[in-house]
Structure 1
Amino acid sequence: MTALGFLYPGHCAEDDYPRIEQLLGSDIRLDLVRTDAGEDAHRVDTLRELGSPERLAQGVEELRLSGAEAVVWACTSGSFVHGWEGAHEQVRALARAAGMPASATSFGFVHAVREIEVRRVAVAATYPADVTGLFVDFLRAGGVETVGGHSVGAVTAAEAARWGEPEILALAREADVPDAEAVLLPDTALRTASHIPALEKDLGKPVLTANQVTVWEALRLTDRRVNAPSLGALFTREPIVQV
């Protein structure tokens, strides 16, 4: 049994994690601890506070007691708003506090893009344009080129959490361009675990979504390989690239 730990802000799409655990169909347990989300707003200042060391530390002890072997900060925007170096420092502090390997969803996207061997992506974001721009900057720092994209401008995570497959598919279609080799949906507030095969079939290319990538990143940290086609192209490849 491999136990994977996740720190997830608030209550939006946390039910994606038991769904993914079921879809993995393996001896893997996903342990999720909710952190204090504070003000629900897609603003840079609130997103920086969302991933503060104090807030992340609140859930660390519970994950240690659960037997987790690795921890991922399951919030893309609460990581990339700190920039490439700042996000690295955030993860290093989390690893020290947890006493185990640590990462964040934002790094999961960079590693997952490398895993599926693409370089040019489209970003389908629920965020306002300025926040999406910071994600594009983060991807660029990780060697990923953004060639297309769309920002909805959702003010809160709760707004994104109300979306179903039609809205998510429309967002992905709006962002996609012919030059993009994959489409990224970076918001962990979107419930996407059940929709990835439909998204990939419609777009005809790999789709990486935040909660899917978060779980894959935790597996990467523990050097686990899982074949789970119902979770998309990312989970049908053989090796997990160690970076």
Structure 2
Amino acid sequence: MTTVGLLYPGHSAEDDYPRFEVLLDSDIRLPVFHTDIGEDAHRVDALLRMGEAGRLAEGVEELRLAGAESVVWACTSASFVYGWEGAHEQIRTLARAAGLPASSTSFAFTHAVAALGAARVAVAATYPQDVTDLFTAFLKASGAEVVADRASGIVTAAEVGTWGRGEVLELARAGDHPDAEAVLLPDTALHTAAYLPELEELLGKPVLTANQVTVWEGLRLADRRAWAPKLGTLFARRE
């Protein structure tokens, strides 16, 4: 059995992770440990507080007791908001606290983009424009070329968590760009586990979503390969 511990802020789309367990159809376990979201706001000051070391450390003991082999801070915005170097320090601090390999959804995106060999990407974000700009800057710092970014202006994770199939497909379609080799949907508050094949069929290219890359990153850290065609190109077996 492989257990990936997920630190998730608040309650919005954490029910994606049990769905991923079912779709992976294996001995992989993805227990979720909630951190205090503080103020639910896609605003820089609130996101900086949300990602503080003390908040992340709250779930670490439970995570270790659950037998986790790796840990992922399952949040994008409260990672990239610290900038490239600050986000690295956040994860180093988490790894020391947990005594486990650690990462965040922000770095999961950069590693997944590299794994797909996608040089040019488009961002379809739920966030306000200023927060979306910070994610774009983070991707550029990783070496990716961002050919387009779309901001939806949603302030709270709670609202994002209410979005269903129609809103998710429209977000991806509106954020796509002809030059993009992959489209990124960066919010872990957005339900996407049920829509991955449809998203890729709609756009005709790989789609990376926050909860999807979070799971993939945790498995990568645990040195576990998993194949599940229903989870998109990232999890598809390549000869």
Q: Same fold (TM over 0.5)?
A: yes
Q: 1:207 matched to which residue of 2?
A: 207
Matches within 5 A, 1:44-83: 44-83=44-83
Work out the CA distance in 2 between the residues paired with 1:238 and 1:46. Answer: 41
Give the AA of the match of 1:60.
V
- What's 1:222 paired with? 222
> How far apart are residue 218 of structure 1 and its match?
0.2
The total of aligned residue pairs comes to: 239
**CA displacement at 1:238 relative to structure 2:** 4.5
Classify the secondary structure of the residue corresponding to 1:62. helix
Please name the residue that 2:142 is paired with.
142
Give the aligned partner of residue 100 of structure 1.
Answer: 100
Scaled by the length of structure 1, the TM-score of the pair is 0.97
Unaligned runs of 5+ in 2: none
Calculate the TM-score normalised by the size of structure 2. 0.99
Structure 1 stretches of 4+ with a deviation exceeding 2 A read none
The letter of the residue matching 2:176 is D
- Give the aligned CA root-mean-square deviation in angstroms: 0.9
The amino acid that maps onto 2:153 is G
- For residues 22-75 of structure 1, the C-alpha deviation after alignment (integer angstroms, 9 at most, x for no partner) is 111111111110100011001000001101000000000000000000000000
Q: Which runs of 5+ in 1 are unaligned?
A: none
Residues 136 and 149, structure 2, Cα contact 8 Å, conserved in 1: no
Equivalents in 2 of 1:136, 1:209: separation in Å? 15
Identity of aligned residues (%): 68
Query: What is the distance in 2 between the residues matched to 1:29 and 1:157?
Result: 25
Q: Tell me the equivalent position of 2:109.
A: 109
Counterparts of 1:35-50 in structure 2 under 5 Å? 35-50=35-50
* Contact kept in structure 2, 1:76 and 1:186, CA below 8 Å: yes
Partner of 2:2: 2
